[in-house]
Amino acid sequence: MNNDHAQDRYYPPSLGSDFERESFSEINPGVIFRLEGRSSSKQYRKVGETTAVDVSEQIQIEFESKTTVYVKS
């Protein structure tokens, strides 16, 4: 077995994320959220208990209250 110390790598976990993981039912109406914790993913605005609007296409979409969403912190 060859142990090459020059190739040893340690990648610590990220110190944090720009996004907080929430449940759809826990966020307030008017809050902008994403379905993935990335800045490049599609944005939605909550408008009701189970509805949100796609910010770019202005289409109303139904969500389940348990759906995991990501809110920018």
- List all residues 6 or more positions away from 38 whose beta carbon is below 8 Å from its beta carbon: 19
Residue 7 to residue 69: CA distance in whole angstroms: 38
DSSP track, 35-48: SSSSTTS-EEEE-S
The gap from C-alpha 15 to its chain's centroid, in whole angstroms, comes to 16
pLDDT at 73: 84
The gap from C-alpha 35 to its chain's centroid, in whole angstroms, comes to 5
pLDDT at 31: 97
Task: Going residue by residue through the chain, which has 73 residues, state the pLDDT in tens, using 9 for 90 and above.
Answer: 566 666 666 666 555 668 999 999 999 999 999 999 999 999 999 999 999 999 999 999 999 999 999 999 8
